[in-house]
Amino acid sequence: MNQPSFHSENVGEFKQKSKEALIIHLYYHDLWDDIEYYLNQLPPIDIFITTVHKLDERIVNSLKKYNCFVITVPNRGRDIAPFLEVLKIILRFNYLAVGKIHTKKSPQTQYCPWLPTLTGGRAWQEDLFKKMLSRDSFDLVSSAFAAQPRLGIVAPQGHLVPIREFIGDCSAFLDALRGKLPSQLYPIDFNFPAGSMFWFRPESLEKVLDLNLSLDDFESEPLAIDGSLAHALERFFPLVSIIGGFKVTSTDRLKVVPGSQNELFSIITRFHDISRLNILSFAVKSIISQSYQNIEWIISVKNFGDGDIKKLDDFIKSCGLASGYRIINNTVAPPVDGRSKILNAALAVVSGRYLSFLDYDDTISPDFCSLMRDVLSNSPSAVSVGGCAQIYFNAATNEIIQKTFPYNWGRPIDIFWSNFIPIHSFALDRSKIKNEELFFDEKLDCVEDYDLLLRLASKYEMDYTLRHFEVCQYYIRNDGTNTTLELKANPSPHESEKWLKCEQILKSKRNDLYVTLNVRELRDYICQIRSTREPAEINLGQIKLFVKNRLKEHRVLLELLRISYVMVRGAKRKMAKIRSVMIGFSSRNKGTI
């Protein structure tokens, strides 16, 4: 029985017949039926198969109805080494999108680490196949690649995971692979398709071949459960795509229709110094690496000449971002810094329902927009707050010195006497905020972000669901170039005076701030002031005393329509109901009930 072509040297006999292709590493031949079940649901698609063992007659007969090319490979590098061989062939053609799958039993794995409900390798495989190869998923992916020229990799829903949580034992290999990249300015936080099954645009992974890896570079079987070159490359592919200016996302994120204003996510970045383009590249890579597709990026600059604007535009494009951004130039007369003014200029032109701010020298995690949008679209909150990592960074070598998580704050009410929320760690839903309340005070050339937060927190509900998730990174550079006063190497007297003046203005504004607390927040505060672990009746005197002691600098308005506080002591249930109560006081007025 004649079989299809088996070797890459015969690729000249193969003719492309579709816009899409599917690469299959068929190690377990007994799982072919699982794959064919989905192939029969798809439109005609070119197929590239790698196999370690000779295909049996039954499979050969099945393949006759497909436009198929087969390669026999040594049993090295699991599905990854064979994939690199096929990638060389794929790039000779003109495919819009290519899928990569492999048979999976994983007898050593009891469950999928990021989806624990998937028990065993077969359940894991079935979930990946269904989310990649169902007709609905295929049509969605195909249309997305056609509509979005910078779409690089699409993972199945639920299988795009953060490298920081699932780096495994691959750190050494990844560091070595990163060292071979043409650019040393790459995102430290990105997502990868766990399970090594995904759709991709061929040119987005072309630079992987520049590693010049051969089969001999891959370890011999049996391999450990993690920590091999193949495992490292599984995590490395999306990094290559992002550096090349291509997006990495998942099938569920494609369902957000690009161009829909109701789902548009606007990000504002202020940039003031054209000589710091190398640092801006961190923000650019953050935008490119977002798994969310519908993004508008506004870069607001000050006093740039035409040459500077062109240089900035050319630099952004050289980083791989070809569209989806705009540059706004502002005139600011010295000695005014204009930080608030250039942010307000950007606010005047934003289009998205969702909004966040990103300083040019910091980064946001790949799922920042997706996570924030999910929270804000499914809650009454106007603001969503996430966790932030602090990165101590060697500015000369672009190396991370240390990573910490210092923003371990307590309850939401803490925001009224200390700012623990960096400007790029929160997002807003503009549909829930009055336009006249969304602005930066132009009298402030620093702490302007805290002023905005105070005003928003005093009137709108804030969601802290993501407080323990690392949604962004705040960089502290060892060259003293941070703008925060305490991080500057040698702040001038003028800078120190400016910060002191702005903090005094903010303190004065804060003394006259009225704060509305929702029922859920108040319930949490009541729990906090309980003197013992035993359930106890809560009376208005305790509430008054608590708020008075904790908010000495504020006048506070508590609007309670009704609170039911349920306590359990053994089998006996007690309920204390507090009806509509209004408490007004300040540090100068004790107030009454």
Where does the pLDDT of residue 569 fall: very low under 50, low under 70, confident under 90, or very high at 90 and above? very low
For the stretch 255-301, pLDDT in tens is 655 455 568 999 999 998 899 898 898 899 889 888 887 899 999 99
Determine if the pTM surpasses 0.75.
no
Tokens of 460: 């709108």
User: pLDDT at residue 174 above 90?
Assistant: no
219-229 pLDDT tens trace: 888 777 777 88
Secondary structure (3-state) at 284: helix
Q: How far apart are alpha carbons 367 and 386 in whole angstroms? A: 11
CA atoms of 287 and 187, how far apart (whole Å): 10
pLDDT tens digit sequence for 10-35: 555 788 999 999 999 999 898 898 89
pLDDT tens digits for range 265-277: 999 999 988 998 9
Quick one: pLDDT band at residue 410, thresholds 50, 70, 90?
low
Beta strands in 177-330 (DSSP E): 191-193, 198-200, 247-250, 265-271, 295-302, 325-330
Could you tell me the two tokens for 119?
Answer: 């028990």
Model confidence pLDDT, tens digit, residues 510-542:
766 666 555 555 555 555 544 434 444 444 444
Q: Is the pLDDT of residue 4 over 70?
A: no
- H or E element that contains 233: helix 229-243
To which residue do tokens 């990174």 refer? 473
Residue 401 confidence (pLDDT): 78
Residues contacting residue 407 through CB under 8 Å, at least 6 positions apart: 387, 388, 390, 420, 421, 422, 425
